[in-house]
Structure 1
Amino acid sequence: MRVAIVDDDPLVRMGLRAIVGSEPGWEVIGEAGDGAEAVTLATREKPDVVLMDIRMPGVDGLTATREIVAAGVPTRVLVLTTFEVDEYVFDAMRSGASGFVLKRVPPAELIESIRVVASGQSLLFPASTRAVIERFATAGTQSLPDLTEREQDVLRALARGRSNGEIASELFVAVETVKSHVASILMKLGVRDRTQAVIVAYESGFVSPGDTAP
């Protein structure tokens, strides 16, 4: 796992480096103190995950996230925030961030968050998931292309935060079949990962907050 750390506070970067560097086989490939440096670092080194602070002087993390995604590098952005419901988080997710996590989470949870995002899965900090989903659900600005009935089932399951294994069990199909459906959904929606697919599903009205119940 190759990770880049972006935060304007040197002490925060130091702490994050210590946590990430303690994981066997993981490497911090660079640090940046603002968004402009983050874009340069990400496009040059192409890390698996960028830990991105949003509120920074100069070029902020939101702009940096958008530019990293636009550059087409296979890097996932994990937003670091101080607040459980941060206005900037909504825009960051729409800009292509794959998830967000609170800066105060325990080290083990941060490591797991990085691992989840790197694998292409969705990550929304549990305490804030409902608020984020409701914000997306009110937009209603996008329409979905035609999905097969099974792809619609899979997309609804993704919106509930289900893993490939859980979806396979619910639909009585093989995990590889679920992966194939997910790949098709991403292609049809024109998005890069599961998080963005879920955002499109809620913004389009295809699913609603009430659909998140198990």
Structure 2
Amino acid sequence: MNASIPKTDYEGNRPIMTEKEHYRILVVDDHPLFRRGVRELLSLDPGIEVVGEAGTREEAVELARKLEPDLTVLDLNMKGTSGVEILTLLKEEDPSRRVVILTVSDSGEDLTACIRAGADGYFLKDMEPERFLEAVRRTLEGQLIVAPSMVVYLTEMVRDVKSDPIVQLTEREKDVLKLVALGYTNKDIARTLEIADGTVKGHVKHLLKKLGFKSRVEAAVWASGQKL
């Protein structure tokens, strides 16, 4: 793993900020047999419940709205749509939604597209079951999880960003960015800084615009290699 991007693989140790006893997950994949396999695997964790399955874009968006899962596990390549399209729709409606991509693609372009669309993780389907469960749990606890073989692409994704934009951020925006880089949710940030959730959303929106990023995950990856 590249040293400039710490705590972003299956062995990540990013601080856990909010830990629940029970998590609800939505599985989105156009192959029923694969969805069943993921459901059965996740059921091995007593703290996780698969509350819904979707095989199309419409079903995914509808169930995400209705069920409000803690995490959506989303396939990248689906008939008639793409995981990036679904991811974008889900994040545009509610940026706080946690979504991880589960795919066979080890393409750097696919990883970059997903991270820029707001993915909270990028898992490869050839990972060991135990690793998958661990990665899901760590994502639920606020970590950015990416397959070790893909971490190099994260470095490439942000290496062209200049280091000077950080001076354009206000002190409060820097505080928020530090916590974003640690995997804090908006609620965690609000509680830590003793400000309103809406204020946090505003700060995140402004700092992303200033830094030229489309997602908080991009900002988190970049910020992890900066001295804020």
Provide TM-score, normalisation by structure 1.
0.70
Q: Secondary structure at the match of 2:123?
A: strand
Q: 2:61 aligned with 1:42, yes or no? A: no
Say which of 124, 127, 142 aligns to 1:105: 127
Residue matched to 2:203: 188
Identity over the aligned pairs, expressed in percent? Answer: 26
| 1:43-122 aligned within 5 A | 43-72=65-94, 74-122=96-144
Q: Secondary structure at the match of 1:75?
A: coil
Q: CA deviation at 1:25?
A: 2.8
Q: CA deviation at 1:201?
A: 6.1
* Separation in 1, partners of 2:220, 2:69: 28
Q: Is the 8 A contact 1:99 1:117 kept in 2?
A: yes
Give the alignment's Cα RMSD to 1 decimal. 3.6
* Separation in 2, partners of 1:108, 1:127: 17
* Separation in 1, partners of 2:110, 2:124: 13
Q: 1:35 to 1:102 in 2, by over 3 A?
A: same
Say which of 187, 200, 207 aligns to 2:219: 200
- Tell me, which stretches of 5 or more residues in structure 2 are unaligned? 1-22, 209-214
Q: Is the 8 A contact 1:46 1:74 kept in 2?
A: no
- Aligned amino acid, residue 56 of structure 2: D
Q: Is the 8 A contact 1:155 1:198 kept in 2?
A: no
1:160-183 deviation line (CA, Å, top 9, x unaligned): xx789xxxxxxxxxxx9xx649x9
- Tell me, which stretches of 5 or more residues in structure 1 are unaligned? 165-175
* Separation in 1, partners of 2:140, 2:180: 20
Provide TM-score, normalisation by structure 2.
0.67
Say which of 145, 154, 169 aligns to 1:146: 169
Higher relative contact order (CA 8 A, sep 6+): 2
Q: 2:148 aligned with 1:126, yes or no? A: yes
* Separation in 1, partners of 2:119, 2:29: 16
Q: 2:11 aligned with 1:22, yes or no? A: no
* Separation in 1, partners of 2:124, 2:219: 24
Q: Is the 8 A contact 2:142 2:183 kept in 1?
A: no
